[in-house]
């Protein structure tokens, strides 16, 4: 029987970086050379794999929505030739890219697994081998029809993951959704948490996404209405509003609420998420949250900021009307949210 085949799309990140006088930076060809030298990557238990190295390789701090689209198109270009895909990516913005790919890859029926490492592949104690080898095994052996993020033993839904630790090997968490799997001595998939497969032969669709401007604004005590107004007037089509707790904001600051109202009236799509790591927003829970709803802010429920931001790029970039973008922002499209209501 033929071995399964996996395509590795190498976009950059610490995993393939080398030391430079300015600190770690990606080096073309370095990761492939290291992989050829390491016996773990020649093991017969691994699937056959090809590596597609992106140009330029990026520290993920430089990733833009155009790069998300470039990755989605790269998956689409070879979609029928492989059983699964591993996207090697820097950890800093991996959760944004994982979220964006979940929206961009419509009709996805094969695993797309993002991973990377905290320590470069050539360094002692690197987590690169475990993360990449396990991602390759999952992508080739388990027909998960989802964009996932694998890191430090945990398999997460991509649009639920968030980077929670800048120094530990377990850098990511999925605070509002169960893990899709875990890799200990055995790899265990939690199939009940995995999304259903689309019908066989469903083609992978990656739409044209036009340029749009999306931002995120964190409410903080003392934030002035003037600053909010200036930010919201900076040319955005969508803004993720990071509210307090269950979706509250300073409703006694009528000028600030007015600034939100004016922006919404002018057609800005404002989506509320919570600053808390766990849980989500219910804009009917408090007087200080219903004021936001009256101003025209819609609920992002328990979406991460990363998922909400990527979703706005996707909805607005594909040309949804303001009303439809607001409606869909609050609706579950890829398993990115669970509607919240406080009893
Ligand atoms: N700065 C790196 C990046 O995100 C960090 C990493 O990969 O861990 O590309």
Predicted TM-score of the model (pTM): 0.97
Extended beta strands in 190-339, E state: 214-218, 238-243, 269-274, 298-299
- Clarify whether 14 is annotated catalytic: yes
Which whole number is the average pLDDT over 43-65? 98
Peptide bond just before 272 cis, omega within 30 deg: no
pLDDT band at 188, cuts 50/70/90? very high
Mean pLDDT, residues 311-336 taken together: 98
109 CB near ligand 1 (under 6 Å): no
The sign of the dihedral angle between the CA atoms of 122, 161, 180, 48 is: negative
pLDDT reading at 102 higher than 70: yes
For residue 14, the ligand 1 atom closest to its alpha carbon is 7
Q: Is the pLDDT of residue 250 over 70?
A: yes
How far does residue 91's CA lie from ligand 1's centre (Å)? 5
* pLDDT tens figures, 121-175: 989 999 999 999 999 999 999 999 999 999 999 999 999 999 999 999 999 999 9
Helix orientation angle between 287-295 and 254-265, rounded to the nearest 10 degrees:
30
Topology of the domain covering 214-329: Rossmann fold (3.40.50)
| Four-way CATH pick for 5-193: 3.30.9.10, 3.30.70.20, 3.40.50.300, 3.40.50.1170 | 3.40.50.1170
Over range 252-273, report the average pLDDT: 98
**What is the pLDDT, as a whole number, of residue 169?**
96
Give the residue range(s) of CATH 3.40.50.1170 domains in the chain.
Answer: 5-193
Tokens of 30: 């370095």
% of the chain surpassing 70 pLDDT: 99
Residue 266 has pLDDT above 80, yes or no: yes
Ligand 1 centroid to 343 CA: how many Å? 41
CATH 3.40.50.40 spans which residues of the chain?
214-329
Banded model confidence at residue 342, pLDDT cuts 50, 70, 90 = low
Select from 17, 54, 60 the residue to mutate for testing ligand 1; criterion: most ligand atoms less than 8 Å from CB.
Answer: 60
In angstroms, what is the span from residue 253 Cα to ligand 1's centroid?
A: 39
Give yes or no for residue 14 CB within 6 A of ligand 1.
yes
């Amino acid at each position: 029987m033929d071995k399964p085949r996996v395509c590795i799309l190498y976009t950059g990140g610490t995993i393939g970086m080398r030391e430079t006088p300015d600190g770690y930076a990606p080096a073309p060809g370095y990761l492939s050379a290291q992989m050829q030298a390491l016996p773990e990557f020649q093991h017969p238990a691994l699937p056959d794999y090809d590596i597609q190295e992106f140009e330029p390789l990026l520290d993920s701090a430089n990733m833009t929505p155009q790069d998300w689209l470039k990755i989605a198109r790269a998956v689409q270009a070879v979609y029928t030739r492989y059983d699964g895909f591993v996207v090697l990516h820097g950890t800093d913005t991996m959760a944004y890219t994982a979220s964006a790919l979940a929206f961009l890859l419509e009709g996805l029926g094969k695993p797309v697994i993002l991973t990377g490492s905290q320590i470069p592949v050539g360094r002692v104690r690197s987590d690169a081998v475990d993360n990449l080898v396990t991602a390759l095994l999952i992508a080739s052996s388990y027909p998960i029809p989802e964009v996932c993020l694998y890191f430090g033993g945990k398999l997460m839904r991509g649009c639920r993951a968030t980077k929670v630790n800048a120094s530990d090997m377990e850098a990511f968490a999925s605070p509002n959704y169960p893990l899709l799997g875990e890799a200990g001595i055995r790899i265990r998939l939690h199939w009940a948490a995995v999304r259903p497969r689309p019908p066989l032969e469903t083609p992978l669709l990656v739409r044209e996404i036009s340029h749009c401007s999306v931002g995120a604004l964190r409410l903080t005590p003392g934030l002035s209405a003037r600053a909010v107004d200036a930010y919201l007037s900076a040319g955005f089509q969508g803004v993720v509003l990071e509210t307090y707790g269950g979706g509250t904001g300073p409703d006694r600051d009528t000028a600030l609420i007015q600034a939100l109202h004016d922006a919404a009236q002018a057609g800005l799509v404002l989506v509320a998420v919570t600053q808390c790591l766990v849980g989500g927003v219910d804009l009917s829970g408090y007087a200080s949250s219903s004021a936001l709803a009256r101003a025209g802010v819609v609920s992002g429920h328990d979406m991460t900021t990363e998922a909400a931001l990527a979703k706005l790029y996707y909805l607005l970039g594909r040309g949804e009307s303001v009303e439809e973008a607001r409606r869909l922002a609050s609706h579950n499209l890829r398993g990115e949210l669970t509607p919240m209501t406080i009893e």
